[in-house]
C-alpha cells in the first residue's frame, strides 16, 4: 500500500499524514490540506465493490486516502456511521429515476435530512480516531460556519462526543426556519450555537480568522485545547463525499442503467464547492465521470468564474429560497485551483491574498481552459427555482427542495445549450421538508401568513405524499436552547468566553 501524505495548498513543502490533517482541519498558514497524489481506482476495483454495502464501499475508498488508518479503524468508523439507525434507508443514499437517463442521487436520508450527514456522521469517528493515533491529550474545539445544513449535521454528529466541544455560527437571517429550529433546539452538553448579524461569508471569514490567530492559539494551548473544523475545509469532511459518487456509479452499472466504462455527467447545486469538488476527485481516481455541471442560485459567483476566469465577490448579496448556496466565497475552489496550476502554492497564495485584500482575482488562460474543459457553470433565480419545482412535480410526481431544483434547471439549460445527452446524475441535497414554505409556494399551495412551520410540514405531506422525516417531526416539541446573536466582530471574544479563556 502506497502511503498518501497531505500538503497545504499554500505551502507545498508541508507533509503530514491524514490523521494530522483531519485533527488540525486547516494548515497553520491558512492553506487547505490536499493529498500529494490522487489514488487510482481501476475498473476491476469498481466492479469488486458491486456486492458490498455502502459502509464497505466507503472503507475501501478511505483505505486509498487515509493510509495511516488501519483496516480495523476504518471498519470501525464506517460501520459506526453508516447504519440504519442514523439513516432511514439501508442503502444510505438512494437513487431515484427522474426521467430517461437522468437520476436523482438522494443524499438526504440521514438524521438532519441534508447531504452534509453523509460526511458529518463519520467525521467524529475520524477525528476521535485521529486524536488517539496522534496521542493528543487536548480537548478538540470544533468551530463551524454554516449556511444552514452543515451546522445541524455537525452538531448532531459531535453532540456529547467525549473530548470535543463544538460551536456553530449561522447568519441570523440567512437560513430557513426549519434549519434554524434544528440548530437552536440541539441537544448535547458540549454544543453551542450562535447567530451572527451578517451573511455566511461573514461567519466563514470569522471562523478562519480565529483559526489562524496565533494569540488565540496560544490561549487554547494554555487551556489544554486545540481547534479543528467540521466545515469542508477539513479533508475529513471532503473525503466521505467522494464515496457516494464511487458507490452510485457502481450501483447504476449493476442495475443495468449504465455499463461499466460509460460516462456519467454529474450536476451539483453548490455554494462552497465541496460537493462538486468531491465528484472531481472521483473522476481523477478513474470513475468515468463526464462533465461536471456546477449549479448556482442568483449568487452566481461560481458561474461567472467558470465562464470568465475572474473570481469577484464584490457584488450584491442575495438571500434566496436556496439559502445553503447563499455564498460568495467558495472555500474549496482553492483545492481545485491548486491542482489545476500544477500545485503552484505561490500562485495560490497570490490569488487568495488578492481575494482577501481586494475581493477579486483572475486565473491564467491555462487554468481558464482547463476549467472550461471540466466544468459547466449555470445559475437559476428564485422564480425559475419555484417554476422548476412545480414542473418536476407535475411531470414526474416528484417533490424536490429548492437547491435540487436549481440543479435541475441548470442541467436543462446545459442540455439545450450543448445537446449533450450523456446519462446524468443530479445531486439532491436536502429534503423538501426543510424548505416547506418555498416548496408549497412553488406548488401553488402558499401557506397563509403566520402559518406554523409544522402546519406547513403537514400541508406539504398532504400535497406530496412523502413521509415526514421523524427527526424533523420530533423538533416540534423541543425547547429552544440557543438565542444569542452577535456582530461578526464579536466572534473571537464569544469563542474565548465560551471556552473560559478570556
Q: Please say whether the beta carbons of 113 and 469 come within 8 A.
A: yes
Which one of 7, 64, 116, 368 is the catalytic residue?
116
225 bridge partner residues:
139
State how far the Cα of 342 lies from the Cα of 321, in Å rounded to an integer: 38
State how far the Cα of 280 lies from the Cα of 239, in Å rounded to an integer: 12
- Identify the CA nearest to 241 among candidates 126, 338, 411: 126
State how far the Cα of 36 lies from the Cα of 237, in Å rounded to an integer: 17
* Sign of the alpha-carbon dihedral angle for 17, 18, 19, 25: positive
SS (H, E, C) 246-259: HHHHHHHHHCCCCC
* Sign of the alpha-carbon dihedral angle for 189, 81, 407, 335: positive
State how far the Cα of 166 lies from the Cα of 485, in Å rounded to an integer: 17
State how far the Cα of 230 lies from the Cα of 360, in Å rounded to an integer: 26
Give Cα 289 distance to the centre of its chain.
19
- Identify the CA nearest to 22 among candidates 223, 211, 238, 210: 238
Q: Please say whether the beta carbons of 221 and 134 come within 8 A.
A: no
Cell of 366: 491555462
DSSP assignment of 303-345 equals HHHHHHSEEE--S-----SSGGG--S--TTHHHHHHHHTTS-H
Cell of 285: 481516481
Tell me, yes or no, if 7 is annotated catalytic: no
Active-site amino acid positions: 116
Amino acid at each position: 500500500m502506497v502511503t498518501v501524505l497531505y500538503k497545504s495548498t499554500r505551502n507545498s513543502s508541508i507533509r503530514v499524514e491524514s490523521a494530522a490533517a483531519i485533527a488540525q482541519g486547516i494548515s497553520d498558514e491558512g492553506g487547505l490540506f490536499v493529498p500529494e497524489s490522487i489514488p487510482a481506482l481501476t475498473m476491476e476495483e469498481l466492479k469488486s465493490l458491486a456486492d458490498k454495502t455502502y459502509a464497505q464501499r466507503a472503507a475501501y475508498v478511505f483505505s486509498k486516502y487515509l493510509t495511516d488508518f488501519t483496516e480495523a479503524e476504518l471498519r470501525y468508523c464506517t460501520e459506526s456511521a453508516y447504519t440504519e439507525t442514523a439513516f432511514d434507508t439501508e442503502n444510505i443514499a438512494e437513487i431515484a429515476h427522474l426521467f430517461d437517463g437522468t437520476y436523482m442521487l438522494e443524499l438526504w436520508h440521514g438524521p438532519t435530512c441534508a447531504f452534509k450527514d453523509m460526511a458529518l456522521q463519520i467525521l467524529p469517528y475520524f477525528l476521535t480516531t485521529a486524536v488517539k493515533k496522534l496521542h493528543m491529550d487536548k480537548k478538540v474545539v470544533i468551530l463551524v460556519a454554516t449556511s444552514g445544513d452543515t451546522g445541524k449535521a455537525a452538531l448532531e454528529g459531535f453532540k456529547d462526543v467525549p473530548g470535543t466541544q463544538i460551536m456553530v455560527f449561522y447568519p441570523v437571517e440567512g437560513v430557513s426556519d426549519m434549519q434554524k429550529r434544528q440548530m437552536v433546539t440541539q441537544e448535547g452538553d458540549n454544543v453551542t450555537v450562535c447567530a451572527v448579524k451578517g451573511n455566511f461569508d461573514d461567519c466563514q471569514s470569522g471562523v478562519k480568522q480565529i483559526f489562524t490567530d496565533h494569540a488565540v492559539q496560544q490561549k487554547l494551548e494554555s487551556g489544554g485545547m486545540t481547534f479543528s473544523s467540521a466545515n469542508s475545509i477539513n479533508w475529513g469532511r471532503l473525503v466521505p463525499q467522494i464515496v457516494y459518487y464511487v458507490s452510485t456509479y457502481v450501483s447504476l452499472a449493476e442495475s443495468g442503467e449504465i455499463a461499466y466504462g460509460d460516462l456519467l455527467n454529474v450536476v451539483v447545486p453548490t455554494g462552497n464547492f465541496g460537493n462538486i469538488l468531491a465528484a472531481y476527485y472521483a473522476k481523477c481516481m478513474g470513475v468515468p465521470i463526464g462533465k461536471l455541471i456546477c449549479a448556482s442560485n442568483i449568487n452566481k459567483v461560481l458561474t461567472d468564474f467558470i465562464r470568465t476566469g475572474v473570481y469577484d465577490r464584490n457584488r450584491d448579496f442575495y438571500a434566496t429560497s436556496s439559502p445553503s448556496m447563499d455564498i460568495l466565497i467558495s472555500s474549496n475552489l482553492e483545492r481545485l485551483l491548486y491542482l489545476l496550476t500544477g500545485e503552484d502554492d505561490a500562485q495560490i497564495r497570490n490569488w487568495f491574498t488578492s481575494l482577501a485584500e481586494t475581493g477579486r482575482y483572475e486565473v491564467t488562460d491555462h487554468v481558464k481552459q482547463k476549467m472550461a474543459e471540466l466544468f459547466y457553470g449555470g445559475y437559476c433565480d428564485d422564480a425559475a427555482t419555484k417554476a422548476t419545482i412545480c414542473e418536476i412535480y407535475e411531470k414526474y410526481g416528484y417533490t424536490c427542495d429548492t437547491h435540487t431544483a436549481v440543479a435541475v434547471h441548470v442541467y436543462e439549460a446545459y442540455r439545450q445549450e450543448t445537446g449533450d445527452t450523456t446519462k446524468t446524475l443530479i445531486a439532491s441535497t436536502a429534503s423538501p421538508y426543510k424548505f416547506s414554505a418555498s416548496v408549497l409556494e412553488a406548488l401553488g399551495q402558499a401557506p397563509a401568513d403566520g402559518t406554523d412551520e409544522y402546519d406547513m410540514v403537514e400541508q406539504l405531506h398532504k400535497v406530496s405524499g412523502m413521509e415526514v422525516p421523524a427527526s424533523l417531526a420530533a423538533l416540534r416539541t423541543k425547547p429552544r436552547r440557543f438565542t444569542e446573536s452577535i456582530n461578526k466582530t464579536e466572534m473571537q471574544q464569544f469563542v474565548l468566553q465560551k471556552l473560559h479563556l478570556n
